[in-house]
Each structure stands twice: as C-alpha cells, then as structure tokens.
C-alpha cells in the first residue's frame, strides 16, 4: 500500500538537513541552480484578446470585465468592436477563496498560485482591528505585508531506482535542489516520490542531478545514474540508494475554494493506564483521569490545475490529494472535519464527500486514497465516496453550512439565486453511508466472481435529495460569489459546545436574526438576511464610496469586487476577500446578536482598542499609479511596477463614485464575470 507521511521534526532534528550526499560526478551534470522566480505563478498574458491598456467606455456604455480562464488576465470590453486585455504584472495577486480561524488568529486565502495565511490582528492608520486572541494575532500587522505562502506548488517528482528504502520509515530524507520534500510518497524500494510544496525547485530545469535520497539502511546518494549503471551496481551488492529516472508530474497549482478544519482541543476520559493516541497527539491517561489533546487541523482546497480536491495541515505540511472534481468555487466542511461539501460547476451539482478528519487520517497507511486519486468524486462513477445533494443548478458557487440545523446554503451564480438545502447534512450522512455499504458489497461480490471470470458492476442507490428552497434572487447584472453563515452567539465563552446549545435553543424556524451573508461581485457589496431570506439589506459596515466606513480606517478605499466570504466564530465579524487582492474585516450585521455584543464591547472599551467597523487585514492590491483616474491606465507587462489590479481598482473607484452620484442611472457602469 502506498504510504504518505511528512518528514517529522524528530527526523529533521536528527540531521536530515545536514546529510552529506555522495555524488558520481563522472556520470552526472551539475544541477541547475534555483532561479529568480520573478512571477511565482509563471505569469501569462491573455490568450484570447490582445494586451492593451484600459480605456474607459464612452457614451455611458457599461464597462464589461471578464476573466480569461487560461491566463487569468482581466479582459475589458465596451462592445464587440472595442475589447482588450490588461497586461498581467508580477505583482498581481488575485484572491479566490477565504477561511478564517479566529481562535488561532489566522486567515487563510487561496490566491492564483498559492495557499497563504495572514494574521488577523491588523491595524491601519492607527485604528485597531478585531479583538482576536490566538498565536497568530499578537500585535499590529501591516496589511500590505501580511501574506505568508504555505503551499505555492503541488508538483510530484517521481524517482525510479533501487535501494530506495525498505519502508517509509527507512527514508530519512528526500530533497529536490536541496529543498526537503513537504510530503514523501513511498510505494516500494524502487518507486519513491516527492510532493513539492513550493515553486522554487522548479524555477529552473529539473534534471536527474537535482535529487537526493538518504535511507537509514543504505546511506545517502545524490543524483541519477544511467539504468545500465544502476543495474550493474545493484547486482554487485551496492547498498546505497540508486536513482536512474526522474520525472515530474505537474498539473499546475491554481487553488480556488478553500475550507478549514481548525486545530482544536479535545477532552479525553480514560480509565486505562496505557498511553492513548488521539489524532496527532499521544497523552498518558490513568484511571478516571480526563486529559486534553490538541488536533492539528486540516486545510482543504480545490486545485483548478489538477481538477482535484487537495489538503494540507494549517502549517503547509502533509500535502494530500483526495480525488478529482469538476470546476469548484465553493467548499464547506462539517465541524468534525469528516464531510466536505463542494459545488461542481461543470455538473451543475452540489456534492458531499468523505475526506477523513484530522491529519492522522492521512499519514501512515491511509495512503490508499492517493492511489485512487484518479477516480472522479461524483456519484455513480465509482471510487467517489461522494453523494449528490443537488443537481440541475446553473454555476453553483459559494457554499455555507449551518450544521446545527442541517442546512446548506448555495449561491447559484448562473441564475442569481440563493438556495437553502434543507436536510442536507442528514441526506449527506445517509447517502455516504449507503455508498460505503455498496462499495463494500461490491468488493465482496467482485472477489467472489473473479474466480468464475464474471464481471460485475456495483449499483449505488441514490439517497433522497434534500429540499432545495429558493430564498431570493438578484438581477442579471449581479454575480453571486461567496456566502457564509454567522454562528449563533455563544451562551458561554467557556463552553466548547455553546454554539450548538444556542442553536438548539432557537430553532431556525424562529430565528429572525440576520446571520446569512453573501457577496455580490459587480455591486461591490455584501448583504445580510435571515436564514429564511427575509430582512435582506446591505451590510452597513461595508466601505462604500463616501461612506463613514470608507472614510475612516480604510483611508477612503471602498470595497471592490468581493469574491469570498467567511464568518468569524468568536467575534461574529464578516471577513471578505476581494478578487483584486484585499481582505476586509467587517462589523456584524445590525439586528444580529453579534452586533449588539460588539457594540457593547466597543462602548466599554477605549477608542484605541475598540474594533473598527471595517479594516483591512490584507492589502496585496499593488501600488496605484499617480493620476490614473482618467485616460488610459494599465499594468507594466512583466514588471514589478503598477499592477493590473491597481489600475482596475482606481478605475472602479472612480466609476463607483460616478454611479453613486447618478441615482437615476439605469445600468451599472462596470460589471465583472468571474470564472469558477
């Protein structure tokens, strides 16, 4: 069985990073040095329209922006005769997904080329951010320097050879251009693979001389030798690792939607005196003793490059690929971290799939999921471990789970509808259980008929679909993107189950607080409503042109093109990721219990510690060009100067002010259509 495990700290501490590799310089060329990345994503220019500078449409025509699905360039059109694409810049950062863990003080974002994290406790122009405790939130942070890449590449470098370890534990080091592998995949002593977590090793050509393997049983050796040499040395009793072939499996790394199972502390009661293993931690338990252990958590995302669901630990280690899916822009995860809900734009469906739980479910002998990763995660296609909850949808986008009430909310971007799937969690549990039982029965039937030479096909009975109830609709100019559900206000901050208790005390049928929030990209807005779609209204804390929120801590910068939304489970704040590279923290919607609690906390705090209605957590939008509010503006192709995002931001801010001053305007001055 394939085994997957990340190099542990104890192995690294034993000297893996200082291993002296033997080389046969007579048989190998020098390995090309790591190059200057310049553009981490391998910047491409538009493959559809010619690159040009931005010229605002004349005669009141609507400026239409479209994302090039191949190069991710921003394309602009005023009509069939006037169209072009803004030049991409190395400094452009496009945000596509967002997950927040206020307990640890971090936000996690999916950019065009990385999974990155940022600290939540930020200040802008002297104003305080959210009052968030946690290891990540200690002190003020500059929003313009608040993105730390965790995974910037998901590339498999496969080695073929001999003496590559008797087991996974025997392999103490595997390097590519001197960079330790984030994850080592051990198949057998002739097949070893390295999953690279960053792009640096691939910034220059990769040759056989660039790899190094060290084992406990045979020692270390760097580079590859010809197959004939490897065979002769193997037959002569050579014990060191021998590599004769190195290949790269690179589908690209373009993460979109992201979901988080945060690290947590679990209480464990035991009457045994033996050590008890719980997830990644081992605790010594004695009779009638209650101990606690901390789970490491898990980050999940959809990679548009490999068309697969992938994951890692919150520190970027232990990379794992779960299985393929259609284009996905929305993920939601249950509290146990075991069931992942995903939108599939290609199939027009929402599916639920089993992903496991904490990181211990992916280490060691659990690598069978990797071996089956070519199986598509869709109901009826075998190996899915997935069940369809809704079908016939038009470009389903964001997902939000209200687990205590069993509800799943869907932003159907193609038709402009917000949907509520009632009984979604129960249908997912029943469907996944039925799929697992059918798979087990099929395996038994297959084993019983192999000897007779009879081929059988397992049939999975689809579970009853949850009720899909439309809540509200938006105009055709508006693209629905991210969606989130604010948790109920905890009844006690010391109780880990307070959210569930509060939700149970107020059934969603009677819950009239605005806890549902969603983003409308072309409207540059975030709105809130009840779980029934009533009392829908714009979120007042959104910084708009001329608003008090924009004039305060944000330096007059309005929200533009929101793409992803996340809910703070400790503060009730709304976190919004803009497509053009910024993350906002916004005050809870009025009428929600969180808003009253926030107002009470603000009134009892000094002005220096009170949370701002809106403040920037991340600002990676680039430097705005001087005087770019009129005429032609655009990024510098291939350079590190003005970004395309900054050019568009200046233009959008100007058109937003113009639209705000013309209340009788019948159509928007600019619209954007993003691709899943």
CA distance 666 to 263: 49
User: What is residue 37's three-state secondary structure?
Assistant: coil
Task: Indicate the pLDDT class of residue 188, thresholds 50, 70 and 90.
Answer: very high
Ranking 27-31, 188-192, 387-391, 497-501 by mean pLDDT, the lowest is 497-501
Q: How far is CA 541 from CA 44, 102, 521, in A?
A: 36, 19, 16
For residue 369, pLDDT over 60 is answered with no
Please count the other Cβ atoms lying within 10 Å of the Cβ belonging to residue 346.
13
Residue 669 burial (C-beta neighbours within 10 Å; 0-12, 13-18, 19+)? buried
Task: Indicate the pLDDT class of residue 535, thresholds 50, 70 and 90.
Answer: very high
Mark out the alpha helices in 321-413 (DSSP H runs). Answer: 368-371
CA distance 316 to 11: 18
User: How do residues 457-482 score in pLDDT, each as one tens digit?
Assistant: 333 434 577 889 999 998 877 889 99
Tokens of 44: 């491409």
Complete DSSP assignment for 119-188? ES---BTTB------STT-SS---GGG--EEEE---EEEEEEEE---SSGGGEEEEEETTEEPSEEEEEE
Query: What is the end-to-end Cα distance of the chain in Å, rounded?
Result: 35
The angle formed by the CA atoms of residues 371, 373 and 376, to the nearest 5 degrees, is: 140
pLDDT at position 40 is 53
Task: Indicate the pLDDT class of residue 48, thresholds 50, 70 and 90.
Answer: confident
pLDDT at position 447 is 62
For residue 262, pLDDT over 70 is answered with yes
The angle formed by the CA atoms of residues 291, 292 and 294, to the nearest 5 degrees, is: 155
User: How do residues 538-595 score in pLDDT, each as one tens digit?
Assistant: 999 999 876 655 545 555 688 989 999 999 999 999 999 999 999 999 999 998 888 8
CA distance 370 to 85: 39
CA distance 299 to 303: 13
For residue 665, pLDDT over 60 is answered with no
Q: When comparing pLDDT for 401 and 194, which is higher?
A: 401
36-50, 95-109, 123-137, 435-449 — most confident range:
95-109
Q: How large is the C-alpha radius of gyration of the chain? A: 26
The beta-strand segments (E) located in 403-515 are 407-412, 417-422, 467-473, 480-485
Mean pLDDT over 234-240 rounds to 94
CA distance 408 to 471: 12
Ranking 36-50, 210-224, 253-267, 360-374 by mean pLDDT, the lowest is 360-374
Q: When comparing pLDDT for 389 and 267, which is higher?
A: 389
For residue 133, pLDDT over 60 is answered with no
């Amino acid at each position: 069985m394939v085994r997957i495990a990340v190099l542990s700290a104890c192995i690294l501490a034993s000297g893996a990073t200082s291993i002296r590799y033997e080389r046969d310089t007579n048989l190998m060329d020098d390995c090309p040095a790591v190059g200057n990345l310049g553009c981490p994503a391998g910047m491409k220019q538009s493959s559809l329209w010619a690159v040009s500078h931005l010229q605002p449409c004349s005669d009141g025509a609507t400026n239409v922006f479209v994302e090039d699905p191949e190069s991710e360039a921003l394309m602009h059109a005023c009509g069939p005769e006037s169209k072009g694409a803004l030049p991409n810049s190395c400094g452009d950062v496009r945000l596509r997904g967002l997950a927040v863990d206020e307990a640890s003080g971090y936000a996690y974002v999916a950019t065009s080329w990385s999974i990155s994290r940022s600290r939540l406790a930020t200040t802008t122009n002297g104003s305080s951010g959210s009052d968030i405790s946690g290891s990540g939130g200690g002190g003020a942070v500059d929003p313009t320097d608040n993105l730390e890449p965790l995974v910037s590449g998901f590339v498999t470098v496969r080695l073929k050879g001999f003496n590559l370890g008797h087991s996974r534990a025997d392999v103490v080091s595997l390097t590519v251009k001197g960079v330790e592998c984030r994850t080592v995949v051990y198949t057998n002593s002739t097949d070893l693979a390295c999953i690279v977590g960053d792009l640096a090793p691939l910034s220059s050509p990769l040759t056989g001389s660039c790899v190094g393997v060290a084992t406990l049983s045979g020692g270390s050796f760097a580079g590859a030798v010809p197959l004939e040499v490897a065979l002769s040395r193997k037959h002569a009793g050579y014990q060191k690792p021998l590599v004769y072939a190195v290949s790269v499996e690179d589908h690209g790394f373009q993460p979109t939607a992201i979901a988080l199972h945060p690290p947590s502390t679990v209480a464990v009661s035991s009457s045994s005196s033996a050590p008890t293993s719980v997830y990644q931690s081992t605790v010594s338990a004695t009779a009638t003793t209650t101990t606690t252990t901390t789970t490491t958590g898990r980050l999940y995302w959809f990679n548009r490059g490999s068309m697969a669901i992938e994951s890692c630990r919150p520190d970027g280690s232990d990379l794992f690929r779960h299985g393929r899916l259609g284009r996905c822009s929305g993920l939601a995860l249950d509290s146990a971290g075991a069931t992942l809900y995903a939108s599939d734009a290609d199939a027009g469906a929402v599916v639920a799939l089993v992903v496991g739980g904490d990181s211990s479910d992916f280490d060691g002998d659990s690598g069978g999921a990797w071996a089956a990763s070519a199986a598509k995660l869709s109901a009826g296609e075998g190996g899915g471990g997935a069940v369809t909850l809704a079908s016939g949808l038009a470009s389903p986008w964001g997902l939000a789970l209200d687990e205590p009430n069993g509800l799943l909310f869907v932003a159907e971007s193609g038709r402009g509808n917000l949907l509520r799937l009632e009984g979604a969690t129960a249908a997912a549990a029943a469907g996944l259980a039925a799929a697992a039982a059918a798979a087990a029965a099929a395996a038994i039937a297959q084993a019983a008929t192999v000897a007779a030479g009879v081929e059988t096909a397992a049939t999975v009975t689809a579970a009853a679909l949850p009720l899909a109830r439309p809540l509200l609709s938006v105009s055709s100019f508006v693209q629905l993107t991210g969606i989130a559900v604010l948790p109920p206000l905890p009844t006690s901050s010391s109780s880990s189950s307070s959210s569930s208790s509060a939700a149970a005390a107020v059934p969603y049928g009677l819950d009239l607080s605005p806890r549902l929030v969603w983003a409308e990209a072309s409207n540059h807005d975030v709105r809130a409503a009840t779980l029934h779609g009533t009392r829908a209204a714009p979120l007042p804390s959104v910084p708009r042109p001329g608003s008090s929120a924009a004039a305060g801590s944000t330096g007059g910068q309005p929200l533009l093109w929101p793409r992803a939304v996340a809910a703070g489970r400790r503060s009730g704040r709304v976190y919004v990721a803009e497509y053009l590279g910024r993350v906002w923290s916004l005050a809870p919607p009025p009428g929600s219990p969180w808003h009253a609690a926030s107002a009470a906390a603000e009134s009892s705090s000094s002005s220096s510690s009170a949370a701002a209605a809106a403040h920037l957590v991340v600002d990676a939008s680039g430097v705005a060009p001087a005087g770019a509010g009129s005429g032609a503006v655009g990024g510098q192709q291939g350079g590190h100067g003005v970004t395309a995002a900054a050019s568009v931001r200046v233009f959008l801010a100007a058109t937003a002010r113009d639209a705000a001053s013309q209340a009788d305007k019948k159509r928007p001055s600019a619209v954007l259509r993003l691709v899943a």
